[in-house]
Structure 1
Amino acid sequence: MTTDRHARRNAQPNIVLILADDMGWGDLGCYGASAISTPRMDAVASAGVRFTDAHSSSAVCSPSRYSILTGRYAWRSPMKQHVLHSYAPAIIETSRPTIASELQASGYSTGVFGKWHLGLDWTRTDGTRVTAFGEHADLDILDRPDQYPVEDIDHAQPFAGGPCDLGFDRFFGIAGSLNMPPSAFLSQDRTVGVPTLPRDIYMAGQNPGLKVEGWRDDEADLRFTSEAVDWMKECAGEEEPFFLFLSTAAPHRPCVPPARFHGLSQAGMRGDAVCLVDWMVGEIDDTLAELGIADDTIVIITSDNGAPMIFPEDGDTEHHRPNGPYRGQKGDIWDGGHREPLIVRWPAGLEAGLVRDDLICLSDLYPTILAAAGLSPSSGAAEDAVDIFARLDSSDPRPRGLPVVHHSMGGAFALRIDQYKVNFCTESGRGFSARIRDDGGANRAIFSASSREDGTVYNAKHPIGRIYDIDADPQETTDLWDQRPDLAAQAHRMLCEITAGADSGFTCGIGPSVAR
């Protein structure tokens, strides 16, 4: 590293975190994709550091987003499995430090644009608020298979517990995914307009609800990008650095990129939606260059979980493997469910062109981003995260120090210790691989007759699981559970220590029977 780079690292950089929705490890050209062109993300990778063994803390979006913003596993929160629906209450306490609140307290301007999906405390028609905390907690609606009754929500009133209560100065986005109501933009603490019209149900999986007049799903990411660009330009005229969190709706289904992106990939509409994400990265990067601040800005690109492979818009998943060579898909305990692309670029602070094979959890972004800004997490914050800042400009392999806990959509656990992965379940952990693929486009969250239980989740009656050597067997095909009872017992003890004091759902106290 040059002396000039050392000096420039002493100043607080701008920070841009771009989080795609359901973008798989194998969706980017720099990770081997040939059916999808991603020149803007590939350019960021070639000018920065690319990680090959980075993982979201969960194989679905709400819990993995929780971990990124708080540096802790989501099973420590009121949410124990699956994802939130869009009227679920906020699962981050307003008193809890987040990346945004820590940066805001040190003088950063902070803004989030796009999908939120961490719950909001909506105002009910009787004037009370939906909440996940305190004596009036609505924990029963955190994991409902149906949507919260829309007639109970007063959309004309503000919500609480959102981004502006958690350290963000500016919020413009949507409550959940595009397949969830309400179909309305959110600005600061309320909807932009009042949704009163029935949503368009143009494909299976579109949940019913309300929309505002003139709403179009295919324009959402365009609007998020333009709002983010305008905000960056406002911030550039100020002396304070900024933290931009751009959370894309694409390529999560319904996969409706604008018409100009249709056919840009050879991987179906979902592939075209990845091209939309690449365009969004380009718009942000071009703005940084236009403002003359690209060198002094850290750009981080990643995704919240693995890609699905069961829906018609996913295209031919044998022709294009959205999760690369890894087994499984979104929701699964297998690596395809949670191994993520992770790219970091900082021209003023990092060498270009590094590829790192270190084990990383996306919860690590919390202390790492703070370290880049010359800060440390508040006392007691980010307990499941490791600062990897020192590794960003070195090719030397370094252990993470803490094992990584993986979590499936169905609440199953796995523990990654160095090259070994101990799955405390059999099969996918009740992830998307357990669902029926219906070429007619149905999106039914049911299990096939041949895998109705999708294996067994580890419990007191069934202390069984799977062990894989990920270095030698990245596709998780050769089970070592019977050959390595010592490792099974070690992993069980470690996971019990990690989950101690939390209502995690993991079974402890079984004793040596785990080792058979």
Structure 2
Amino acid sequence: MNKTPNIIFIFCDDLGWGDVSCLSPDSRIQTPHIDALAQSGMSFTDAHAGSSVCTPSRYTLLTGRYCWRTRLKRGVNGGYSPALLHPDRMTVASMLAEIGYTSACIGKWHIGMDWTLKKNTAGEFPQELSREELKFDELVDFSKPIKNGPVDVGFNYYFGISASLDMSPYVFIENDRATTVPTEHIPKGETPESRARAGIGAAGWRHEDVLPALEHKSVDFVREQTGRGNPFFLYVPVNGPHTPVVPNEPFIGKSDCGTYGDFVMEIDQTVGNIVQAVKDAGVYDETMIFFSSDNGPETLTAAYREQFNHFSSWKFRGMKRDNWEGGHRIPFIVSWPGVVEAGVQNQQFVELADFTATVAEITSTELPDDAAEDSYSMLPLLRGKNATGYREFSVHHSVSGKWAIRRAKWKLLLHSGSGGNAYDCPENNDPVQLYDMETDPYETTNVYGSHADVVKELKALCLKSIREGRSTPGASQDNDPDGDWVQLRELIELRV
């Protein structure tokens, strides 16, 4: 195996499985740089995010712990939400810092951070995104340091935005401070693609400038770290293709899928430019590059099926927010010259929660019992070995806090409907849904009525994972309290 590698994780926002041309040959969007990354390494066709929405997926990626174990039991953070991560919770970055890595997060954070209120003001930031967010535009002291952000949980450097690009405040943050005091009103976007909330922003703010700024900072970090003698970890959670969909002029008209496709192609170019920076720095052979997305595509892409003959969820049912496959099955690519065989497509079920344990094994780091409670190492898979000992099951989670569980060929949704978006479908009348993912990967036929034993076993396994505070072997851990955990109570009371 190569020496301890540099690690880069490029994390897209709402990129669908069908948006990547090497996974979906009929895609109306061409992604040559992402495709080249796949050709240089391994692409997984059955990979899953830690949730079907942004915040929980990001928390799970960086900690190896399902986010529903925190106080955020449903929904997502807003731009002013308090920190979900604190210094006593191990992250990939803090783990790597202990063995000499220099780490940077450049992009969308969206796991909360603690802003300072102006003097003589009172308020409590809501953990979950709400309409109360706008009032904090006037209450926050943007000149003061921000606490419990990326630089307090293991990262040496941070540059980016507090949450999604459709959430106030519209201002860059560098390390623990806003780069300027925002003073302008940024208007609400009025079309599906331009959708963004009204709010306060930096003078001259343009949504189009965010992705190029993240790329520039990422390339600079790679160049600066090369030759310093220590390995680096670069986490790049880009802002798209989440709304607002804002491709820059050179990319407009490049795709066959409107401005959305153009924006994906600009993101693809960003991936290519970061990879090229690694090559130009002479450290490509020493660098492990991950590429993925936080959840499935936004519902606005459903219109592209007829408009452009483009299917962002490919053939999978559901979209962002849902517990059906389209909500959490995501593109996942890993490149590591000399270790990961080039051009391999792996059909093994994997989960992004496993990033933490994988990095721990790569760096020979022992994980404590109170960290990475839901993370298994996928290193054997990356080295071309079989999956013996890899995860037995996985727990999925929707925007409303509903659970689904996958074990071998069986997937059980422990609720009616999608668990997220509203659809007119027969499953709205079913208490649970059981699908055979070997014969029915597109979840068309609910067979719970003829497999009562499987339903009973999987429900019990899901409850056991919840109650023990972990899904990996080890000492039981506590979930974070949140008063009446409504979803858990409903699950316990569920009768089929």
Query: So what's the TM-score if we normalise by structure 2?
Result: 0.91
Residues 218 and 256 of structure 1 are in contact (CA less than 8 Å); yes or no, is this contact kept in structure 2? yes
Residues 117 and 141 of structure 2 are in contact (CA less than 8 Å); yes or no, is this contact kept in structure 1? yes
Residues 103 and 157 of structure 2 are in contact (CA less than 8 Å); yes or no, is this contact kept in structure 1? yes
Q: Establish whether residue 247 from structure 1 lines up as the match of residue 241 from structure 2.
A: no
What residue number does 2:292 align with?
302
Between 1:27-36 and 1:65-74, the stretch displaced more is 27-36
Residues 43-62 of structure 1 mapped to structure 2, 5 A cutoff: 43-62=36-55
Q: Which runs of 4+ in 1 moved over 3 A?
A: 127-130, 138-141, 311-318, 395-400, 453-456, 501-514
**Cα drift, residue 144 of structure 1:** 2.2
Q: Establish whether residue 383 from structure 1 lines up as the match of residue 373 from structure 2.
A: yes
Take 1:482 and 1:96, find their aligned partners in 2: how far apart are those partners? Answer: 42
Structure 1 residues 182-224: Cα deviation after superposition (integer angstroms, max 9, x where no partner)? 1111100111110011013242532121111111110101000
**Cα drift, residue 47 of structure 1:** 1.2
Q: Establish whether residue 471 from structure 1 lines up as the match of residue 471 from structure 2.
A: no
Take 2:490 and 2:392, find their aligned partners in 1: how far apart are those partners? Answer: 22
**How has the CA–CA distance of structure 1 residues 505 and 92 changed in structure 2, closer, same or farther, with 3 Å as cutoff?**
farther
Out of 399, 408, 427, the position equivalent to 2:398 is 408
Residues 410-429 of structure 1 mapped to structure 2, 5 A cutoff: 410-429=400-419
Query: So what's the TM-score if we normalise by structure 1?
Result: 0.88
Residues 309 and 317 of structure 1 are in contact (CA less than 8 Å); yes or no, is this contact kept in structure 2? no
**How has the CA–CA distance of structure 1 residues 247 and 509 changed in structure 2, closer, same or farther, with 3 Å as cutoff?**
closer
Take 1:341 and 1:266, find their aligned partners in 2: how far apart are those partners? Answer: 20
Take 1:425 and 1:105, find their aligned partners in 2: how far apart are those partners? Answer: 42
Q: Establish whether residue 162 from structure 1 lines up as the match of residue 149 from structure 2.
A: yes
**Cα drift, residue 454 of structure 1:** 9.1
Q: Establish whether residue 82 from structure 1 lines up as the match of residue 75 from structure 2.
A: yes
CA RMSD after TM alignment: 2.3
**Cα drift, residue 237 of structure 1:** 2.5
Residues 427 and 433 of structure 2 are in contact (CA less than 8 Å); yes or no, is this contact kept in structure 1? no
For 2:114, the aligned partner's letter is D
Q: Establish whether residue 109 from structure 1 lines up as the match of residue 82 from structure 2.
A: no
**How has the CA–CA distance of structure 1 residues 312 and 55 changed in structure 2, closer, same or farther, with 3 Å as cutoff?**
closer
For 1:15, the aligned partner's letter is I
For 1:455, the aligned partner's letter is N
What residue number does 2:269 align with?
279
Residues 291 and 333 of structure 2 are in contact (CA less than 8 Å); yes or no, is this contact kept in structure 1? yes
Out of 435, 448, 459, the position equivalent to 1:492 is 459
Q: Matched residue of 2:435: which SS? A: strand
Take 2:409 and 2:301, find their aligned partners in 1: how far apart are those partners? Answer: 32
The percent identity for this pair of structures is 33
What residue number does 1:455 align with?
428
What residue number does 2:472 align with?
none
Structure 1 residues 57-112: Cα deviation after superposition (integer angstroms, max 9, x where no partner)? 11000000000001011111111111111011111122100000000111001001
> What runs of 5+ residues in structure 2 fail to find an aligned partner?
468-477
Out of 170, 178, 185, the position equivalent to 2:172 is 185
**How has the CA–CA distance of structure 1 residues 118 and 127 changed in structure 2, closer, same or farther, with 3 Å as cutoff?**
farther
Take 1:77 and 1:511, find their aligned partners in 2: how far apart are those partners? Answer: 19
Q: Matched residue of 2:359: which SS? A: helix
What residue number does 1:348 align with?
338
Q: Matched residue of 2:372: which SS? A: coil
**Cα drift, residue 314 of structure 1:** 5.5
What residue number does 1:123 align with?
116
What residue number does 2:474 align with?
none
Residues 269 and 313 of structure 1 are in contact (CA less than 8 Å); yes or no, is this contact kept in structure 2? no
Q: Establish whether residue 151 from structure 1 lines up as the match of residue 143 from structure 2.
A: no
Between 1:220-229 and 1:305-314, the stretch displaced more is 305-314
**Cα drift, residue 505 of structure 1:** 4.2
Query: For this pair of structures, how many residues does the alignment match?
Result: 477
What residue number does 1:438 align with?
none
For 1:13, the aligned partner's letter is P
What residue number does 2:15 align with?
23
Take 1:302 and 1:99, find their aligned partners in 2: how far apart are those partners? Answer: 16
